[in-house]
Structure 1
Amino acid sequence: MASDRCPNNVGKQAWPELLGAQVAVAVATIRREKPNVIINVRDEATANDPSLPAIFCDRITVWVRQGIVTRVPVIGF
């Protein structure tokens, strides 16, 4: 769970309601609810890229395919 990985992070940790949403809606929602994090949008095609960082508690990765969110955005990834 995200709170286990980022114990000092207060507030919302995951956005399950954004699964299947348009990327622009997801980014706007996260930015409104958690303005101090870095939001990275990544295509599912790069999901196995070994150069991707593991866990950063000031970051949320929004995974998309054809502009649709494919994974629940969680703080720390």
Structure 2
Amino acid sequence: MADGCKGKSKWPELVGVEGHVAAVTVEAENPNVKAAIVPEGYGVADDFVCTRVWIGLTKAGYVFEVPIIG
């Protein structure tokens, strides 16, 4: 569904990276998006937004899934 969005749409290389570093990286590599950090166990909105990237973090603060536009 990210086909209509501008710029890079997923960041598999960020799995295992500290959350703040991941957020800065995402926003630097695609200035059209804003990173949204989500602690493990919390839900996210199910609407699709081209300007948002969910970054799921473990309790220790590391990315546990591939950040993608949505």
TM-score range, shorter chain: 0.7 to 0.9
Alpha-carbon shift at residue 61 of structure 1 (Å): 0.6
Backbone CA RMSD of aligned residues: 1.2
Task: Report percent identity of matched pairs.
Answer: 34
Aligned to 1:39: 35
Aligned to 2:55: 62
TM-score between the two structures when normalised by the length of structure 2: 0.85
Aligned 1:1-77 pairs, distance under 5 A = 5-46=1-42, 49=43, 52-54=44-46, 55-65=48-58, 66-76=60-70
Greater C-alpha Rg: 1
Higher share in strand: 1
Displaced runs of 4+ in structure 1, greater than 2 A? none
Contact 2:53 2:67 in 1 (8 A): yes
TM-score between the two structures when normalised by the length of structure 1: 0.79
Unaligned runs of 5+ in 1: none
Q: What is the aligned length?
A: 68
